[in-house]
Structures are given as structure tokens and as C-alpha cells.
Amino acid sequence: MTLNIPGHRDLRKILILNPKGGSGKTTLAMNLAGYFASLGRPAALMDFDPQGSSIRWLKKRPPNLPAIYGVAAFEKKMNMTRSFQLRVPSEIRYLVVDTPAAMTTAQLTEFTSGAHAILVPVLPSAIDIHAASRLIADLLLVAKVSRRMGRLGVVANRVRENTLGFRKLMAFLDRLQIPIIGALRDSQNYVHAAEEGSSIHEMHPSRTKKDLASWLPLTSWLEMRLNTPLTDRDVLRPGDGSEQPEQGADIVDLRTHLPRRDAEGTGP
Ligand SMILES: Nc1ncnc2c1ncn2[C@@H]1O[C@H](COP(=O)(O)OP(=O)(O)O)[C@@H](O)[C@H]1O
Ligand SMILES: [Mg+2]
């Protein structure tokens, strides 16, 4: 499984990651693709998850909604090269990448390389916060996202504000100094949109007012990342990921932050 996307210079790649199933990767992927499409911005959705939920959603998409180009990257195609399979048409400008739960650290390195934005949806429960902290540790130390921290953002998902779980999630992320770029409500609109092949951006606004409002911080953060051109730092070369973490002012020492034994950790 490689993410060797034969992209073009103007393609902006948004990667959605979380090793935990059910955290909202596909929901976020579908609604992000729908966000771009609803604004008339040519978007593609690439699905690496063998479950294929994103691609199934695309197949349900009503013909009156703006088209989203789909790539079933999980399919093993014997009769074509991998890069041919993963190609996206040159008119596509936004590529949303949905990923499976299980990914090796090598894959993390490969997938995050060249991404304009890396989004991690997290549910506000102790188990989910723990799983996310492991992922974020791997991203920072192994996939060297530490040197492009600005591209990493956590999206709290299925949030019911003022619950203990939500407050714990916020406190933890705050200690890690990882930006929470949005908090999506626990809302049946996501469930309906998934069934209908649409997104909350394409439903009647009278139905989705609160959900749309909760997307504003996320999209404004994202637009800034998408408009920040990639530099050498954003593109890893083979072997980069296996080295020791580099020392730098922007590295976060996770040992002082992980929630388990070290909940009282101080800042970096
Ligand atoms: N904000 C939300 N509000 C309500 N239901 C949600 C929300 N986010 C996800 N879900 C539901 O939770 C389930 C798992 O979400 P999904 O996006 O498939 O997770 P993942 O892709 O990480 O496995 C789905 O049934 C989805 O409809
Ligand atoms: Mg999924």
C-alpha cells in the first residue's frame, strides 16, 4: 500500500488518520469532499480502507449534486500500475484521503509526506484519547511531523459540549500543544448524509445550521494550510522516517505529556 500519487503541482492533499475504527475518519472525509464540491472546487476522494465506505458513499451520490472523483485505492488491480490506479484527473485541485484503521509507521511516513493538512478525528473517550496520543507520538517522532506541526490538527468528533470526556480531551490536547481545529457535534445529520450520498454542506441549511457553524473553525484552519505552499520540510525522502527524531525547537517531548502515567507532565 503506497501513496505514490502521481499528482500535479496544484493538487492539495488532505490526509485523515486515526488507528481507531469508528473515530470518524470516513465521516470527515465524506464531508470534506462534499465541502469542496459544494463550493464548486474540483475534489477527489481516495479510499485506502478495504471496507470501502467512502467509495460506497460516492456511488450513492445523487446526480444533481456536484461530482466528486473517487479512487478505490484499496483495490488490488493486477492489470495496471499502482500509480496509474491512483492517478487523479488534472482538473482536480483537492484530494481527500481516507485511510484504514491499521497502518504501519512506514505507511504513516509515506502517507503524510507531501500532505498540506493531516487531520486526526478523535472521540472524547479515554480509550480514544489514548489511541490518538499513540498516533500523535508516532506522527511526531517517526513520521517527523514534528517539523511541520502546523499541518497537523485534531478534530474532536461526536462532541457533546460540557461533558467530562470532552473536557478531558481538550485538556490533553492543550498539554500536547496540538491545535484542536474543530469540534463536530454528535448529530444525526452526518448519519443521514452518509446514507444519502451527500454531506452536511449540501443538505438544507435549516436542518444543519448548528453543524455548519461547528465546521467554520475547521475550514478556516484548513484553508490556511491549503494556501501555505509545501516546502522541502513537508516532503520526506525514503529513510527519513527511520532516523532518530531530530532535535529542534518545535519538537514536543511526548513523554511529559502522555496521559497514562504522566498525567501531571509539565510543558516542553
Ligand atoms: N459527528 C458524528 N455524529 C453522529 N454520528 C457520527 C459522527 N461521526 C461519526 N459518526 C458515526 O459513527 C460511525 C463511525 O464513523 P466513521 O466515520 O465510519 O469512522 P471511521 O471511518 O474512523 O471508522 C458511523 O456510523 C458514523 O455515521
Ligand atoms: Mg472509515
Rounded to the nearest angstrom, the distance between the alpha carbon of 27 and the centre of ligand 2 is: 7
User: Which atom number of ligand 1 is nearest to the Cα of residue 49?
Assistant: 21
* Mean pLDDT of the 206-214 span: 96
4: burial class by Cβ within 10 Å (0-12, 13-18, 19+)? Answer: exposed
User: What confidence tier does 237 reach under pLDDT thresholds 50, 70, 90?
Assistant: low
Question: What pLDDT shows up at residue 191?
Answer: 98
Tens-place pLDDT, residues 147-158: 677 899 999 999
41-71, pLDDT tens digit by residue?
A: 999 999 999 999 999 999 999 999 999 999 9
CA dihedral 225, 154, 206, 203 (to 10 degrees): 70
How many angstroms is it from 172 CA to the middle of ligand 1? 22
DSSP element (H, E) containing 182: strand 180-185
pLDDT band at 1 (very low <50, low <70, confident <90, very high): very low
C-alpha cell at 2: 503506497
Minimum-distance ligand 1 atom for the alpha carbon of 53: 18
Q: How confident is the model at residue 224 (pLDDT cuts 50, 70, 90)?
A: very high
- pLDDT number for residue 138: 84
If pLDDT is split at 50, 70 and 90, which confidence band does 210 have? Answer: very high
Condensed to tens digits (0 to 9), the pLDDT of residues 73-91 reads 999 888 888 888 888 999 9
Q: What is the pLDDT of residue 263?
A: 35
Q: How confident is the model at residue 240 (pLDDT cuts 50, 70, 90)?
A: low
C-alpha torsion sign, points 223, 227, 228, 231? positive
Q: What is the mean pLDDT of residues 220-234?
A: 91
Can you give the pLDDT at residue 76?
Answer: 85
* Amino acid letter, 213: A
Give me the mean pLDDT over the 105-112 stretch. 83
Angle, nearest 10°, between helix axes 188-196 and 25-38? 70
- Overall average pLDDT of the 117-128 stretch: 90
First and final CA of the chain: distance in angstroms? Answer: 35
Q: Residues whose CB is under 5 A from ligand 2 (ion)?
A: 25-26, 53
Q: Which of 54, 97, 190, 212 should be mutated for ligand 1, with most atoms under 8 A from CB? A: 190
Question: Which pLDDT does position 164 carry in this prediction?
Answer: 81
C-alpha 258/C-alpha 268 separation (Å) is 12
Which amino acid makes up residue 233?
R
Under the banding of pLDDT at 50, 70 and 90, the label for residue 107 is confident
- Domains defined along the chain, listed by start: 12-232 (3.40.50.300)
Helix-strand-coil split of the chain, %, nearest 5: 40, 15, 45
pTM, 2 dp: 0.87
Cβ-Cβ contacts under 8 Å for 148 (sequence gap 6 or more): 233, 234
